[in-house]
A and B are shown apart, each in its own frame.
Chain A
Amino acid sequence: MASLDIQGVTKSFGATKVLHGIDLAVADGEMVVIVGASGCGKSTLLRIVAGLETPTGGKVLIEGRDVTPLEPADRDIAMVFQTYALYPHMSVFDNMAYGLKIRGLPKAEIRARVQEAADLLSIGQLLERKPRQLSGGQRQRVAMGRAIVRHPKLFLFDEPLSNLDAKLRVQMRAEIRRLQKRLSVTSLFVTHDQVEAMTLGDRLVVMHEGRAAQIGTPMEVWSRPADTYVASFIGSPAMNFLPATLTEGGAAARLAGGAVWRFTDGARPGGDGRAVTLGIRPEHLLADGADGLPLAIELAEPMGSETVVHGRLPDGTALTARLPGGVPGEGLRVAPELPALHVFDAEGGRRLDPA
């Protein structure tokens, strides 16, 4: 087990810059999830840590040792691939034992370690099978087992759950988290799925266009997103954004439609007239008959205990609300829970906190 430090890592493919300097410190035993849309550079970053790609600039340190110039073989890491990447010509046992055989461990110890990992993952009865005789979930377990037996310093996961069906994905997600906690291996997990990211990580790195838009615990990222990208990416359904301007000396914002929402946590800098973007999550909108904004319903999705309502404000701004109970009738008015309001700079989308 070890710590991982990524220091100013950049990567260019020709003239295309895919990573613009990533800094990240992962503590011993911590699980950090790198999340982002496809093409944001998250897989490239993971492959740089693995040693499968060479960074253009910056350093990767494992346990304080600079491993940037080392081959993957010398980094003492294990990786679970999206496609599992099992050796098709080897039995499950040989797949798991391969790395140990290369290191020249005694036969008895290899057998013991594989057996232990197989029991942990309940694939003990599959050891003689070939990968093609296994189901997707079983292959996934073997890939995990191959990583576990090595007792590596670092676990790397490259979207390992995206080839599984929805039910199995939820099950394996929980299992990975349980295993990681139990073995307390420092782990880096890449995914594009924000639910996976929220549930798996001790901390998240939200990546956007080759930069770490925000690094923090799942709740930090959810409750205080650093910019509009993170705010829209984390949380489902996505956060609503409303154009507005500061008023009352920065203590409130006037929406395009004229309504004024007062901040409960203090005035924002910049003074009256500064253009801002207000963010409010669908679950923080309440049905309010009295002084809410009228919402013309375009689509209502009943979920049973709650209903997701997609509609438009009178000025044409789209708004999504998650309301308890069944489908609301005509004349719906919604109002925000003002303490849950997020304020972003209209220019650049950075979060604006009270001065």
Chain B
Amino acid sequence: MRKKVIFRGAVLPYLLLLPQMAVTLVFFFWPAGMTVWQSMQREDAFGLRTEFVAFENFLDLFTDAIYLNAAWNTVVFSTSVAALALGSALFLAVQADKQIRGSGLYKTLLVWPYAVAPALAAVLWLFIFHPSIGLVGRGFSAIGIDWDYRVNGGQAMAMVIVAAAWKQVSYNFIFFLAGLQSIPTSVLEAAAIDGARPMRRFWTVVFPLLSPTAFFLLVVNLVYAFFDTFGVIHALTRGGPGNATETLIYKVYVDGVQNLNFGSSAAQSAVLMAIVIALTAIQFRFIERRVHY
């Protein structure tokens, strides 16, 4: 039980809240407010004049084919990363959950990728997929696939998806394994006696019992794919070839830092902010409803 403290007067409680409020204001609300403010400005090419344009930046965005392409890339990229990372993590966790020899080592090794910095991970994958020096890249060429992610946009996308998903598998794996181990053995045995074969057991008993975990991970993975994959994309493809692997977060960087188009970049940031808020709201709203027990 938490003890309820009753303050005399209102000054002390506000004083105690002040540091936290200050941090939140300075590092979240202020930059967020600045972003929204800037998203309604337009600067000339030399940075001499700034004019207020209201929602024009946003209108420009939503009619810009390149931006819409980036949005589509993001959808493809994020859902693929989430699906691949969740699917492989679940598969690996189910394997690890079986009583196998050396499972401790297996689990430890599976957790390692999470400790690898995104840029390093990207370099690792670069060495694997590089068309002339990469093992897999050369293997593809050897079996007659015309592999060059520097030219082929689809191949580039596939590569950043694999690299980004690989990083997230460890995290998902830990949660899935914990979820699996919290399912009582007797429930699975009861299902076996009720006549359910392993596959059926998995889909009718194990998976539903894992669904709260899976849903939580889905949101976390989407957020990761949206916002935390800049490093991977930057190190592997820099958004190319063309704009084939340019996602929304990458475009914010390109437009704001490289092209110095602050107004548009800020408007894009504001859109991303809205997406995060929406995802978080979904998370909070559904996570409780989906819990079965």
Q: B-contacting residues of A (Cβ < 8 Å)?
A: 50-52, 71-73, 77-79, 81-83, 85-89, 98-99, 102-103, 130-132, 146, 150
Contact = CB atoms under 8 A, between A and B. Distances in A.
Nearest to A98: B194
Given A85-B186, A87-B187, A87-B205, A50 B293 contact: no
Given A73-B197, A87-B205, A131-B293, 6 more contacts: A52-B193, A73-B194, A79-B190, A79-B193, A81-B190, A89-B205
Given A89-B292, A130-B293, A131-B293, A103 B195 contact: yes
Given A72-B193, A73-B196, A79-B193, A88 B292 contact: yes
Given A88-B293, A89-B293, A52 B208 contact: no
B195 A99 contact: yes
A82 B191 CA distance: 15
19 contacts: A50-B189, A51-B192, A52-B189, A52-B192, A72-B192, A72-B193, A73-B195, A73-B197, A78-B194, A79-B190, A82-B186, A83-B184, A85-B189, A86-B187, A88-B292, A98-B191, A102-B200, A130-B293, A132-B293
A86 B293 CA distance: 11
Nearest to B186: A85
Interface in B176-204: 184, 186-187, 189-197, 200, 204
A103 B197 CA distance: 11
Interface string B222-266: 000000000000000000000000000000000000000000000
Contacts of B192: 51-52, 71-73
A89 B292 CA distance: 5
B23 to A, nearest CB: 40
A117 to B, nearest CB: 14
Contacts of B292: 88-89, 130
Interface of B is mostly: helix
A77 B191 contact: no
A146 B194 contact: yes
Nearest to A156: B193
Interface in B155-194: 184, 186-187, 189-194
Given A102-B200, A130-B293, A132-B293, A88 B195 contact: no
B189 A81 contact: yes
A81 B194 CA distance: 13
Contacts of A87: 187, 190-191, 205
B209 interface: yes
Nearest to B208: A89
Contacts of B193: 50-52, 72-73, 77-79
Contacts of B187: 85-88
Contacts of B195: 73, 99, 102-103
A332 B73 CA distance: 95
A50 B187 CA distance: 14
A82 to B, nearest CB: 8
Contacts of A146: 190, 194
Given A88-B209, A89-B292, A150 B194 contact: yes
A215 to B, nearest CB: 25
Interface string B269-293: 0000000000000000000000011
Nearest to B194: A99
Contacts of B293: 88-89, 130-132
A89 B194 contact: no
A85 B196 contact: no
A128 to B, nearest CB: 15
B249 to A, nearest CB: 36
Contacts of B189: 50, 52, 72, 79, 81, 85
Contacts of A81: 186, 189-190
B204 to A, nearest CB: 8
A98 B205 CA distance: 10
A138 to B, nearest CB: 16
Nearest to B183: A88
Residue among B191, B195, B293 facing the most chain A CB atoms (10 A cut-off): B195
A50 B196 CA distance: 14
Contacts of A89: 205, 208-209, 292-293
Q: Which of B194, B200, B204, B205 has the most CB of A within 10 A?
A: B194
B278 to A, nearest CB: 28
B202 to A, nearest CB: 13
A170 B156 CA distance: 70
Contact of A85 (B184, B200, B208, B209): B184
A98 B204 CA distance: 9
A83 B186 contact: yes
A79 B204 CA distance: 19
Contacts of B200: 102
A150 to B, nearest CB: 7
A5 to B, nearest CB: 20
A44 to B, nearest CB: 14
A132 B184 CA distance: 14
A89 B192 CA distance: 17
A51 B195 CA distance: 12
Nearest to A79: B193
A263 B247 CA distance: 97
Nearest to A143: B190
CB-CB nearest 6 A-B residue pairs: A99-B194, A88-B293, A89-B292, A85-B186, A85-B190, A73-B195
A103 B193 CA distance: 12
Nearest to A75: B193
Contacts of A99: 194-195
